[in-house]
Structure 1
Amino acid sequence: MRVAATACPSDVFVLDFDGVVVDSEVEVSTSALGACAGYWPQLFGEGQLAERLRQRVRADLRATRPRLINGWEALVMARLVLEDQGSVARILADWEPLLETTLAAWGEGDGGGLSAAFEAHRAAQLAADADSFVALNPLYPGVADALQESPYPYYIASSKAAGRLVTLLCASLGLDIDTASPRLFAGLIPPNERKIAALRAIAARQVAAGGATLHFVDDRFETMHAIAEQAPDLLERWQLYLADWGYNTPEERAAAAALPGVRLLSRPQFLELLKWGVVMEVDDGCEPTQEEAEAAANAS
């Protein structure tokens, strides 16, 4: 018989948002294509992209999502893969130097014009139809229920802008928070340095006192690597998990599993961790519950 663990207040969670709680790639890539059409109309000729080409570009943008840092970079990725599908491999191999040389070749400077175009397009979409915008940021299956059932406090640490993050949290999870909420660490760019600072700040709060077990779940391999290499002292307090359903590659998952203090986590394990504070992974000989079966079926 499966017995739920007793609720204990000595666990604290810090969760990345994009790629852990929601699949924001859908919105980012869709917005990138829309903003791309407005910024470089010559790429689209007389009308919209043919549906087959649009589907291919969307698939390529999903493949390159692990390299995205700032949202507007998706415009550059969109144009690159639109003009040359072989760009996917180059983006995955060495994105930051490629971005720099591409911006220079296109005369885009530091990308400020692209950033403004991207954010203006997203703001217009949100203002025109907020429900549709939220729908383009779907929660991963099971996450909402697990967060609602969890007896543990949790924080959100995200590179997403605070206003947009609050909009999505309120709409998707029904939270009553604003941009000043102490539960939010938003706009964390550059993500590695800012997330390390956020983990230090949370560890210093009263909620983490008394030997609380601290859990950090992110889908970004570079952040896990940065913690292991640049802030090894955090490994003494934090349990680190790389979300294998998020925006990372098989090679990154294998590399993360070899990092000290980092554990690879599946979504069913994540749901278990949120509810009970542990990943039991015990085969009790019983048939799986409907929830367990659905979580396993929906796992990426």
Structure 2
Amino acid sequence: MGSDLYALDFDGVLCDSCGESSLSAVKAAKVRWPFVFEQVDATMEEWIVEQMYTLRPVVETGYENLLLVRLLVEIRVPSTRKSSVADGLTVQEILENWLQLKPTIMADWQEDRDSLVDLFGRVRDDWIKNDFSGWIGANRFYPGTADALKFSSSEVYIVTTKQSRFAEALLKELAGIDFPSERIYGLGTGPKVKVLQQLQQMPQHQGLRFHFVEDRLATLKNVIKEPALDKWNLYLVTWGYITQKEMEEAEGISRIQLVDLPDFSKKFK
């Protein structure tokens, strides 16, 4: 094997799952809050999915898609409002203030993170079971990433907030890669900073160069705060769920390297 270890985020680095996660969120939100979605027709569903492409950069964990979908309905349909923030709220304001809005709407709606995570997973499982090709087709790998992964000579791990079984299914069915399940650290394996610490402490990884590739600036900033992770080379991709503002901020952080898609494919091989 090569002398490099790559820890790769999945959504936004390897795979564009925004269409699938938005459609799954609409399906799950209809189950969770049927009274909210009684007034949502097909045209409004299309509008919701369009807005989710704009809002995708704020999503750290999949269940947040459900919250965003419901909030969008409350913005458009005043009679459904149960939150204290929806009146006059814009999509741009959600993008800029999500960390403050999320706990507010969770409290207003009396929602629970674990049950939303569970529901989101079950709805995806049902979709996969009943319409596997439709679920697969709602995702796509970014150009060149599957080949880069397939032919890499480095030690590669996937570190993601997606549930591992979904990442593994997409790698196999969409990218044609039988990726070892023990190399996928998905939702429930702990924060990414802890996973990176585990990887660098494994005896078989001593002497390797460590690289972490992400599309969330906030995640890389959390890594920088951990002195124990000073050995990691950090990369922020320019093609994932990232805003122009975040890319500009990253350019001022010496520890972070911005990488575009062609450079990633070259570097990785």
TM-score (norm 2): 0.86
Q: Which amino acid aligns with 2:107?
A: A
Provide closer, same or farther for how the CA distance between residues 70 and 9 of structure 1 changes in structure 2, counting only shifts above 3 A: closer
Structure 2 counterpart of 1:117: 119
SS at match of 1:151: coil
| 2:23 is the alignment partner of 1:26 | no
SS at match of 1:84: helix
Structure 2 counterpart of 1:80: 71
Within 5 A, what are the aligned runs for 1:193-272?
194-210=191-207, 212-228=208-224, 230-235=225-230, 237-272=231-266
* Structure 1 CA distance for aligned equivalents of residues 180 and 65 of structure 2: 27
Shift of 1:119: 2.6
SS at match of 1:71: coil
CA offsets per residue over residues 49-104 of structure 1, 9 Å max, x none? 233x3332112111111111231221110121223264422322222331221122
Structure 2 counterpart of 1:156: 158
Shift of 1:269: 1.1
Shift of 1:245: 0.8
Structure 2 counterpart of 1:295: none
Give the fraction of aligned pairs with identical amino acids, expressed as a percent: 32
* Structure 2 CA distance for aligned equivalents of residues 164 and 154 of structure 1: 18
Unmatched 5+ stretches in structure 1: 1-7, 276-300
Alignment partner for residue 102 of structure 1, among 101, 105, 118?
105
* Structure 2 CA distance for aligned equivalents of residues 24 and 71 of structure 1: 10
Structure 1 counterpart of 2:79: none
SS at match of 1:239: strand
Shift of 1:206: 4.3
Shift of 1:251: 1.0
Preserved contact between residue 221 and residue 252 of structure 1 (Cα < 8 Å): yes
Q: Which amino acid aligns with 1:104?
A: A
Preserved contact between residue 224 and residue 256 of structure 1 (Cα < 8 Å): no
Structure 2 counterpart of 1:49: 41
Computing the radius of gyration from Cα coordinates, the structure with the larger value is: 1
Flag as ranges the 4+ runs of structure 1 deviating above 4 A.
none
SS at match of 1:69: coil
| 2:31 is the alignment partner of 1:38 | yes
RMSD over aligned CA atoms reads: 2.3
Shift of 1:15: 0.6
Structure 2 counterpart of 1:16: 9
Q: Which amino acid aligns with 2:200?
A: A
TM-score (norm 1): 0.77
Structure 1 counterpart of 2:141: 139
* Structure 1 CA distance for aligned equivalents of residues 92 and 189 of structure 2: 25
